[in-house]
C-alpha cells in the first residue's frame, strides 16, 4: 500500500516510529495528485512548496525528539471558502478570482498549531451554493468512482480529493448537506458538527445561521482526530459555544449495546430508490445484531424543511453577498460610466447563475410585503423542525437515515432543473435547520456507486455518533473499498 492510501492515524504511527518522513508522505500525495488530478479536477489551487517546507519542519521536530501532535505532517486539503493567509481563497467564483486573504480562519490557525501539511484549496459550488460542484466558476469536479458522475456538493472537491487519495483528509463546510452529501457520493466519512462547535471565523459566509465547518476522512478514527483539532470556543465568532471539548478518540469503542436509534419514517418513503432502501435496511439489521435498539421514529414536519430552507438560506445569502460590490477586492468591471453601473456590471458579470438565482430569491422573500408571508413563516417552520428533533431525542440517542435519496447522478443530468437539484439535499438540510450534528459514513453500494448512512444526534453528541459509526465501520468492509482511478 502506498503512503497516500493510508489513513492519518496509520501515518502518525509510521512518523513517530521514524519509519517514514513527513516529506516522503507529502511527496507521495503530490505524486498522486500529479497522476489523477486531470481526471478528478478536485483542486483549484495547489500549495506544494509550502507543503514540503512544513513537512521538513515536522521532520526536524521528530528528529530532535519532540513529541508531535497526531495530525503533524499529515497532508490535508481545504475547501476554497475557508480563508488562508497568503493563499488564494476564491469560493470558486469569478468575483473572488484573485482574492488573497490577509489572515487565517480560526480552523486554519488550529491546524497550523497541529503542524498539518496543507496540500491546497479544493473546488466547490460557487459560494457553496449547489449539490454537484457543477456550479464552480472554474471547472467541474468529477466523482472518482465514475468520472461521468458528480462528486456532490458544495464540498465536492474535498470529498473527491479524499476518495481519490489526493490528500489524507480535508475540510469542507455544510450549510444544507454540503459535507454529508458529497461524502455519501464519494464513499468517505463526512461530519457536520453541532452549530457553534467549530468556529466560523474566516469561513466565507453563505447562510450564517446554518454554515458549519467539518471534516472529510477515510475512516471514523481520522474523523475523531480532525474534530479534536478544529473544535472549541473562539471569541472571534459570536456564535461559538463555550463547551468543554472532549477527546473524541475516546469514543471510538466497538460497542453499541443498548444504544437507542430511531429511523424516521419520513426519510424511508416510497420515493426512495428500492436498492438504496435495501442497503439502509441492511445497515439497520447490522446495528441491531450488534446490540443497538432500532425502532421506527417520526419527524412530522420533515415535508416543510425543503421550502423553509430555500427561503431562509437565500435570504441570508442575499445579505451576506451584498459586500461583493467591486470596490474593495475581487472582480471589478472597468468599463462602467458611473459607480451604480460599476456595481451592477461587477456583480452581474462576477456571480454565476445559481448564485444570482439565490440572491434574487432571498431579496424577494425579505422585501416589504413579503417578509411576513415568506421569511417569517419559514422561521416558524424551522422552530417546528427543531422541536421535532428535540422530541425524538427524548426517546432516542441517535437518528438514522439515508444521506441521499439516490447515488451520484450523471454530470449535466440536473443542471436544467434547479428544483430537482435542491431535492438532493432533502435528507440533510433538516440537520442544519435544527443546528444538530450529522455525519455520513459508507454503508454499501448500488450499481457500483457508494451509498451513505446518515447519523443524527443531539447537540454536542458527536461522541455518541462516533461510537456508533466506529462500531458499524469495524464490523463492515465498506470504508476499505477505494475507487480504481
Catalytic residues: 79, 154, 178
Q: Is 334 exposed, middle or buried (0-12, 13-18, 19+ CB in 10 A)?
A: exposed
**What does each C-alpha distance from 137 to 8, 179, 283 come to in angstroms?**
31, 20, 38
Task: Return d(Cα 346, Cα 332) in angstroms, integer.
Answer: 5
Task: Return d(Cα 399, Cα 465) in angstroms, integer.
Answer: 9
Closest to 180 (Cα-Cα) out of 467, 445, 431, 460: 431
179 in Cβ contact with 227 (< 8 Å): no
DSSP label at residue 16: H
Task: Return d(Cα 357, Cα 275) in angstroms, integer.
Answer: 34
* Cα four-point dihedral sign 371, 339, 352, 48: negative
Neighbours of 247 (CB within 10 A): 11
Closest to 179 (Cα-Cα) out of 129, 215, 219: 215
Query: Grid coordinates standing for 352?
Result: 454565476
Task: Return d(Cα 329, Cα 273) in angstroms, integer.
Answer: 46
Task: Return d(Cα 233, Cα 196) in angstroms, integer.
Answer: 8
**435-455 burial by CB neighbour count: b if 16+ within 10 A, else e?**
bbbbbbbbbbbeeebbbbbbb
Please give the span between the terminal C-alpha atoms of the chain, in angstroms, as a whole number: 15
Closest to 213 (Cα-Cα) out of 314, 81, 402: 81
Task: Return d(Cα 102, Cα 114) in angstroms, integer.
Answer: 21
Closest to 178 (Cα-Cα) out of 157, 149, 210, 152: 152
Task: Return d(Cα 189, Cα 443) in angstroms, integer.
Answer: 10
Query: Grid coordinates standing for 55?
Result: 513537512
70 in Cβ contact with 8 (< 8 Å): yes
Closest to 149 (Cα-Cα) out of 353, 352, 404: 404
Q: Strand, coil or helix: what is 260?
A: strand
263 in Cβ contact with 400 (< 8 Å): yes
**What does each C-alpha distance from 74 to 182, 185, 228 come to in angstroms?**
22, 24, 15
Peptide bond into 367 cis (omega under 30): no
Amino acid at each position: 500500500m502506498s503512503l497516500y492510501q493510508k489513513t492519518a492515524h496509520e501515518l502518525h504511527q509510521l512518523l513517530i516510529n521514524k519509519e517514514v518522513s513527513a516529506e516522503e508522505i507529502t511527496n507521495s500525495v503530490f505524486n498522486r495528485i500529479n497522476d489523477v488530478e486531470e481526471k478528478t479536477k478536485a483542486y483549484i489551487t495547489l500549495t506544494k512548496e509550502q507543503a514540503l517546507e512544513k513537512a521538513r519542519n515536522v521532520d526536524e521536530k521528530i528528529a530532535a525528539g519532540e513529541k508531535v501532535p497526531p495530525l503533524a505532517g499529515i497532508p490535508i486539503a481545504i475547501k476554497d471558502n475557508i480563508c488562508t493567509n497568503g493563499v488564494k481563497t476564491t469560493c470558486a467564483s469569478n468575483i473572488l478570482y484573485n482574492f488573497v486573504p490577509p489572515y487565517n480562519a480560526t480552523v486554519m490557525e488550529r491546524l497550523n498549531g497541529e503542524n498539518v501539511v496543507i496540500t491546497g484549496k479544493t473546488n466547490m459550488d460557487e459560494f457553496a451554493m449547489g449539490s454537484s460542484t457543477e456550479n464552480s466558476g472554474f471547472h467541474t469536479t468529477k466523482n472518482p468512482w465514475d468520472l461521468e458522475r458528480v462528486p456532490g456538493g458544495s464540498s465536492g472537491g474535498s470529498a473527491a480529493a479524499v476518495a481519490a487519495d489526493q490528500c489524507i483528509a480535508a475540510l469542507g463546510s455544510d450549510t444544507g448537506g454540503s459535507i454529508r452529501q458529497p461524502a455519501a457520493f464519494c464513499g468517505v466519512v463526512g461530519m457536520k458538527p453541532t452549530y457553534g462547535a467549530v468556529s466560523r471565523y474566516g469561513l466565507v459566509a453563505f447562510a450564517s445561521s446554518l454554515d458549519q465547518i467539518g471534516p472529510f476522512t477515510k475512516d471514523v478514527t481520522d474523523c475523531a482526530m480532525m474534530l479534536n483539532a478544529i473544535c472549541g470556543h473562539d471569541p472571534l465568532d459570536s456564535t461559538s459555544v463555550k463547551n468543554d471539548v472532549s477527546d473524541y478518540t475516546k469514543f471510538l469503542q466497538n460497542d453499541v449495546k443498548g444504544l437507542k436509534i430511531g429511523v424516521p419514517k419520513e426519510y424511508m418513503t416510497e420515493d426512495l430508490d428500492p436498492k438504496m432502501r435495501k442497503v439502509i435496511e441492511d445497515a439497520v439489521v447490522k446495528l441491531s445484531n450488534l446490540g443497538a435498539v432500532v425502532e421506527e421514529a417520526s419527524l412530522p414536519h420533515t415535508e416543510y424543511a425543503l421550502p423553509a430552507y430555500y427561503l431562509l438560506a437565500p435570504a441570508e445569502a442575499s445579505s451576506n453577498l451584498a459586500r461583493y460590490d467591486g470596490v474593495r477586492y475581487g472582480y471589478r468591471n472597468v468599463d462602467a460610466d458611473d459607480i451604480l453601473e460599476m456595481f451592477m456590471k461587477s456583480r452581474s458579470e462576477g456571480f454565476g447563475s445559481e448564485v444570482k438565482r439565490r440572491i434574487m430569491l432571498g431579496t424577494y422573500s425579505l422585501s416589504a410585503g413579503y417578509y411576513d408571508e415568506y421569511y417569517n413563516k419559514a422561521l416558524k417552520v424551522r422552530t417546528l423542525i427543531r422541536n421535532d428533533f428535540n422530541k425524538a431525542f427524548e426517546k432516542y440517542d441517535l437518528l438514522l437515515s439515508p444521506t441521499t435519496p439516490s447515488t451520484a447522478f450523471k454530470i449535466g443530468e440536473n443542471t436544467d432543473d434547479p428544483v430537482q437539484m435542491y431535492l438532493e439535499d432533502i435528507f440533510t438540510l433538516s440537520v442544519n435547520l435544527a443546528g444538530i450534528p450529522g455525519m455520513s459514513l459508507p454503508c454499501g453500494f448500488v450499481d457500483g456507486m457508494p451509498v451513505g448512512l446518515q447519523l443524527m444526534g443531539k447537540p454536542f453528541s458527536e461522541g455518541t455518533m462516533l461510537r456508533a459509526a466506529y462500531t458499524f465501520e469495524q464490523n463492515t468492509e465498506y470504508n476499505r473499498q477505494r475507487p480504481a482511478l
